[in-house]
Homo-oligomer: A and B are copies of this chain.
Amino acid sequence: MPKVVDHNERRTRIAEALLRVAGEHGLEAVSLRHVATEAGVTSGMVQHYFRTKDEMMAFALEVVRERGEVRLSAAAAALGPDPTPRQLLRTIVAEVLPVDEPRRVDGRVALAFLAYTAVRPEVAAPVRADTKAMLEFMAERIRAGGPRPGVDPERAAVGLLALMEGLGVHLLGGHYEPATALAALDSYLDTIFE
């Protein structure tokens, strides 16, 4: 019986090679040949699965998003059955921040993707959808958590998500220590919740 090729597994393997290259050397190092070498396959094989670099990037972005979802769900589940909205939001943001090496690799890839999609708006649709969903989730949790008088949940959610992004960028650049970022996060949450 001929071996059945798991095409999705192969695509994922190539995408993961792309992510390792991007995480170590930056997105401008991502070439067909470089990715093929890293994945241990031929350039022809990579071209068989991805006709263009954009296609390969879009698929790799999917892999990163799935990884992120799995990680966030695990962190939320680890909080137990009834976390307060503040605990949940704090956990989610802290989970994403690049405070250790695995998260730094993912963070560098995410930053590279942001730069990539900023000049290719057509590839950015899934990222925009994630932002929208995350803003709705955060606003809903802020509303449920009993915000301080005068706090607008929608605006506070936009601020919290932007804070997460900005702290992540500054941590990746080594601009300050993780403790500094976490203290700024807690101060921000203090302004939202009683």
Judge if A85 is at the interface, Cβ distance under 8 Å.
Answer: no
**CA separation between A156 and B163, bound complex, in Å?**
11
CB distance from A168 to the nearest CB of B (A): 8
Judge if A174 is at the interface, Cβ distance under 8 Å.
Answer: yes
Given that A108-B119, A115-B26, A118-B108 are known contacts, is A187 also in contact with B173, CB under 8 Å in the complex? Answer: no
Judge if A28 is at the interface, Cβ distance under 8 Å.
Answer: yes
Closest to A169 in B: B165
**CA separation between A149 and B111, bound complex, in Å?**
36
Q: Which residues of A contact B (CB under 8 A)?
A: 23-28, 30, 107-108, 111-112, 114-121, 124, 127-128, 131-132, 135, 150-152, 155-156, 158-159, 161-167, 169-170, 172-176, 180-181, 183-184, 187-188, 190-191
Q: Kindly identify which residue among B117, B158, B166, B169 contacts A173, using a CB–CB cutoff of 8 Å.
A: B117
Return the 6 tightest CB-CB contacts between A and B, nearest first.
A162-B166, A165-B166, A166-B166, A28-B28, A191-B191, A158-B184
Copies assembled: 2
Query: For residue A175, which residues in chain B have a CB less than 8 angstroms away from its CB?
Result: 127-128, 131-132
A111 touches B108 (CB 8 A): no
Query: For residue A156, which residues in chain B have a CB less than 8 angstroms away from its CB?
Result: 184, 187
Task: Please classify the interface of chain A as helix (H, G, I), strand (E, B), loop, or mixed, using the class held by over half of its residues.
Answer: helix
CB distance from A102 to the nearest CB of B (A): 15
**CA separation between A117 and B169, bound complex, in Å?**
11
B28 touches A116 (CB 8 A): yes
B159 touches A184 (CB 8 A): yes
A26 touches B120 (CB 8 A): yes
List 19 A–B pairs whose Cβ atoms lie within 8 Å, in order of A's numbering.
A26-B115, A27-B115, A111-B111, A112-B118, A115-B115, A118-B173, A121-B174, A128-B173, A131-B173, A131-B175, A132-B175, A150-B190, A155-B183, A155-B184, A158-B167, A158-B181, A162-B163, A162-B169, A166-B166
